[in-house]
Amino acid sequence: MSIKPIEYRDGILRMIDQRLLPTEETWLEYTDYREVAEAIRSMVVRGAPAIGVAAAFGAAFGARDIEAENFEAFYPEFEKVCALLAATRPTAVNLFWALDRMKHFARANAAYPPADLKTGLLFEAMAIADEDDRLNRTMGRHGQALIPEQARVLTHCNAGALATGGYGTALGVIRAAVAAGKKVAVYADETRPFLQGSRLTAWELQKDKIPVTLICDNMAGYLMSKGEIDCVIVGADRIAANGDVANKIGTYTVAVLAKEHGLPFYVAAPLSTIDLSIPDGSHIPIEERDRREVTHSGERQLAPEGIEVRNPAFDVTPARLVTAIITEKGVVQGDYQSGLQALFGKGR
């Protein structure tokens, strides 16, 4: 049983504060959509599918607080709630996907009285959360077929249970490989500057007793050159129509290294991460975060006062460096343009 970072019960959303892991397991409670938005912005909750799930509950909470007699009065207010939630983080498309799904649900049920619509929106948020957990398990089964019987797998950032409604994408594939009896050992990049690898991936794999070794980001090339890594698997925040992949900063570097060493580089992501509306990765907005993430570690200053800093939180790996994209509808290889498009017409 892997952790579920987001739980809803009796009108309250509970989220584990991922900023405090691995040393403190603190659960925060939410009932107000503005606080949910702040939790996304400040990374209490993070990871593309997880912020989609949190935003869906935020939208349902915002809807609940709207006082309106009919749909015409309700919907413009609901759009404002969704806009506030959408303005939290720009790169992961799952956030916008989830909010679009909530707005679509509202429009499709416009004939119902607002009170019923509000209940329906809460159920829709619960459905988004449950589906994400379930589809990650299906994705894991598809992806684990690519993992050798004995494998040393490098991952970057955290694309685990903590980043999703449960089970994980990249780590879901690893969990499924372990469940299939394969002998998998994971190398976790620490993932500077926010340290999702050392704080989160190392924590959740250790908790699930999956062998994991922590390395600094700049050690991956050395280990590959020594033949100590068999493949790479990462998650994604947004995948363009041509297969270009935005993921945590440093992913591109790992992909180039994998290419140099002839290692497969896999991306695991649900369809809600695929953005067919953009032709390639150059259209993906890349979030720039606070300079303090780079200059400080907690309270400790690591750089001279006043130094120029860049802190792009994501990069784009060109499709040509990606060996396969693993989704809940199957694995796409080769021609991503038509392969990704085809997934959207496919049944389970």
Smallest separation (angstroms) from ligand MRU to the CB of 72: 36
**Cβ-contact 20, 65 below 8 angstroms:** no
Does position 48 interact with ligand MRU (CB under 6 A)? The reply is: yes
Please count the residues of this chain forming the interface with ligand MRU, following the rule CB under 6 A. 17
Binding pattern to ligand MRU, positions 191-230, x when CB under 6 A? -----x----------------------------------
Asked if 162 is part of the footprint of ligand MRU (rule: CB under 6 A), the reply reads no
Q: What is the DSSP string of 229-251?
A: --EEEE--SEEETT--EEEETTH
Exactly one of 237, 275, 315, 328 binds ligand MRU (CB under 6 A); that residue is 237
- For the chain, the farthest-separated pair of C-alpha atoms sits apart, in whole angstroms, at 68
Clarify whether 237 is annotated catalytic. yes
- How far is 16 from 25, CA to CA, in rounded Å? 7
Angstrom distance (rounded) from CA 145 to CA 141: 7
d(Cα 263, Cα 21) in Å, to the nearest integer?
31
Establish whether 109 is an annotated binding residue.
Answer: no
CB contact at 8 A, 235 and 267: yes
- For position 159 contacting ligand MRU by CB under 6 A, the verdict is yes
Q: How far apart are the first and last CA of the chain?
A: 24
Of residues 44, 121, 139, 163, which one binds ligand MRU by CB under 6 A?
Answer: 163
Alpha helices in the chain (DSSP H): 33-41, 48-64, 71-86, 93-108, 114-144, 170-179, 196, 202-207, 220-225, 251-260, 292-295, 336-343
- Interactions with ligand MRU, residue window 310-339 (CB under 6 A): 313
* x-marked contacts with ligand MRU along 294-313 as a string, rule CB under 6 A: -------------------x
Nearest residue (CB) to ligand MRU, 124 versus 237: 237
290/335 with CB nearer ligand MRU: 290
Binders of ligand MRU in range 80-99 (CB under 6 A): 92
Alpha-carbon gap, residue 59 to 13, rounded angstroms: 12
Q: What does the block give as tokens for 38?
A: 């702040």
**Residue numbers 17-46 binding ligand MRU by CB under 6 A:** 46
Would you give the distance in Å from CA 99 to the centre of its chain?
15
Residues 252-291, one symbol each (x = binds ligand MRU by CB under 6 A, - = not), give: ----------------------------------------
Interface ranges with ligand MRU (CB under 6 A): 46-49, 92, 157, 159, 163-164, 169, 196, 235-237, 247-248, 313
Q: Which residues are catalytic?
A: 237
Annotated binding residues for substrate: 46-48, 89, 196, 247-248
